[in-house]
Structure 1
């Protein structure tokens, strides 16, 4: 801010003038040269969290976002939001926030920032930097930025350099234990926005279930702790995990909200609950599953979980295992558990030939 309490960006600031941080009121330094992106910086040891040291990637990236956003109306770089004490990288038309995340960010802090923006009725889009792009595709540190649009399904946005471009991984879904997605890159935000506005979803080819059955048996062999725990649950009901009914794997394509073990776990738990108590309440199931998930950018996580649960419930109804009355599933018959993995693989081969 100027001495007259007017906001100003580093590109327009004049050298030799005094400028102050809108958060702590301390004097800040104007940094603008031939190689560095224009920005303001605190003097050392000010203790203010606004204006913490930034990498060249982050400085260049948010400036690029600001330039790209100007064609859509008013775009403000690092506009300080007094009500929530947050400063988004770019604020567009006072309703859209663009954040360029290059450094690690804890889930707690991420949730706080999202909640702050929502309290002001601001929608936020988060773009990830190069380090996130190179990480393991299924890393929780990457997937926590998962967002959703009906046109592209579950997606992640990246902003990469050399050359500067937008990259989107879209239609992210989990097929058994593998993460599947499509990827496109765009040189401008306008082309990206046009892409997001039109349906891009395709019907994927589903590979053989035998691959997942083999993976499951390998996890048992190597004593994966989560798999062993699930195996013990099945033992208590006199079943083998590797012999779980085929319906536990349907539908095969699922949102990437958790691991393959999580998906298998709650489906098996539903079947065991039906077998023991002869009923399952879908509302309770949705609430229990929602408590296990944290995806701040999904506006209505409960709705996403409800869709997931309904899909499985519909499979159970079609198979004649249950009948549904409102939010309650009532047991009709037990689904067939196989004696071992070999018997199950034979059933898979027979089913795939049909």
Structure 2
């Protein structure tokens, strides 16, 4: 901790003296002032402390980052490690009704959701800024829980760099041909950050890339070869219809961008939809039937109404099928004009794509 109580007032570790007795703001137990060469001055609980908000063992990155963020926010008023008794939580920084958390250590979806909901119960917003270990895992699905959605900026995530003292915003995060792409912007003051958010970039689209398409196809084939459970399940469904998953129609690749909510499963989803396509289905029936097997993660505690992004991706693909003359939708009923042509196998599909390019 960077703060503690002394004589009923909050004291910063940098200004604290070793001779005084300090108390934890949460549990009011005595804490120890540590001033060494490896970490910046901080307070630590005594051994075997039962404080629920105990954060002993904080990394130097976490301690430094919190102090740097206070300087980043200046001259706006902000406080370090304010204990909120009503929800038994202590945000790293409290700025009005905004709780700022600098997350460096691992945290599960359940615990993260509890903390986010705690702030919401207090009518507060929370901004989760991530450390270096999370930056290394950015493309992992385990990072989905930290995504925000900001109108005009798309799906975003935030990182703090303790070496450069800057806030990094990764925005316009989209999966293009099953690969995560994003743009970056850096901020050096809070005012700069807030000002830039008011003016989102005009063009957030990603174009088609033949190399990425070929890699996507190769990836599907490799998943079958290495017996990926989900890919095999879908391949068996394709076989039952007389198709090969790696030989899916080209229409599956025209809508090549999607949000992290659907992510790498977008191509699988489109293949599923084509397998289920039938005159006897309504739009909602097709949506539920196709998404049941897909099992898309719901782990987005910082985003409201995640389902709308899944429905949008579904609607975009159906709209493309309509545009290309494969189906007609009337009163939410699907009418198939012609079924998209499947290739004989993976090699025929690859050859066709290369020849067309």
TM-score higher than 0.5 here? yes
User: Does the 8 A contact of 2:282 with 2:332 survive in 1?
Assistant: no
Query: Which of 42, 61, 75 is equivalent to 2:65?
Result: 61
Match among 252, 255, 258 for residue 259 of structure 2: 255
Unaligned 5+ runs, structure 2: none
- Report the counterpart of residue 193 of structure 1 in structure 2: 194
Check if 1:315 corresponds to 2:316.
no
Which runs of no fewer than 5 residues in structure 1 stay unpaired?
none
Q: 1:78 is matched with which residue: 70, 81, 93?
A: 81
Is contact 2:82-2:90 (8 Å) kept?
Answer: yes
Structure 1 SS opposite 2:86: coil
Query: Please, which of 331, 336, 340 is the counterpart of residue 335 of structure 1?
Result: 340
Matching residue of 2:168: 167
Counterpart contact for 1:287–1:302, Cα < 8 Å:
no
- SS of the aligned residue for 1:215 comes to helix
Please report the TM-score for the alignment, with normalisation by the length of structure 1.
Answer: 0.85
Q: CA deviation at 1:243?
A: 1.7
- In structure 1, C-alpha distance between the alignment counterparts of 2:22 and 2:305, rounded to whole Å: 41
Q: Structure 1 residue aligned with 2:124, among 122, 125, 149? A: 122
Structure 2 SS opposite 1:198: coil
Which of 293, 298, 302 in structure 1 is aligned with 2:298? 293
Distance 1:243 1:275, change over 3 A: farther
Shift in Å at residue 158 of structure 1? Answer: 0.9
Compute the displacement of 1:335 (Å).
2.2
Question: Aligned residues, how many?
Answer: 348
Cα RMSD of the aligned pairs, angstroms, is 2.9
* Residues 261, 309 of structure 2: 8 Å contact kept: no
List per-residue Cα deviations over 1:257-294 (Å, max 9, x = no partner): 3552x212222222222238443317746985786321
Q: Matched residues in 2 for 1:241 and 1:287: separation?
A: 17
Q: CA deviation at 1:232?
A: 0.8
Query: What's the counterpart of residue 242 of structure 1?
Result: 246
Which whole-Å CA distance do the structure 2 matches of 1:291 and 1:236 have between them? 23
Tell me which of 253, 270, 291 is aligned to 2:273: 270
Task: Name the SS for the 2:55 alignment partner.
Answer: coil
Compared CA separation, residues 290 and 23, structure 1 to 2 (3 A): farther
In the alignment, the residues of structure 1 paired with residue 312 and residue 122 of structure 2 have an alpha-carbon distance, to the nearest angstrom, of 28
- Partners of 1:105 and 1:66 in 2: how far apart? 23
Once the two structures are overlaid, the 10-residue window that deviates more, 23-32 or 302-311, is 23-32
Partner residue, 1:100: 102
1:210-229 matches, within 5 Å, as: 210-229=214-233
Q: 1:317, CA displacement in angstroms?
A: 2.1
Q: How many Å separate the matches in 2 of 1:82 and 1:110? A: 18
Report the 3-state secondary structure (helix = DSSP H, G, I; strand = E; otherwise coil) of the residue aligned with 1:41. strand
Does 2:28 match 1:25?
A: yes
Answering whether residue 93 of structure 2 is matched by residue 90 of structure 1, we say yes
TM-score, length of structure 2 as denominator length: 0.85
Question: Matched residue of 1:124: which SS?
Answer: strand
Please, which of 90, 109, 112 is the counterpart of residue 111 of structure 2? 109
Q: In structure 2, what is the Cα distance between the partners aligned to 1:76 and 1:287?
A: 45
* CA distance, structure 2, for counterparts of residue 259 and residue 111 of structure 1: 21
CA contact (8 A) 2:262 2:310 kept: no
Change (3 A) 1:217 1:276: farther
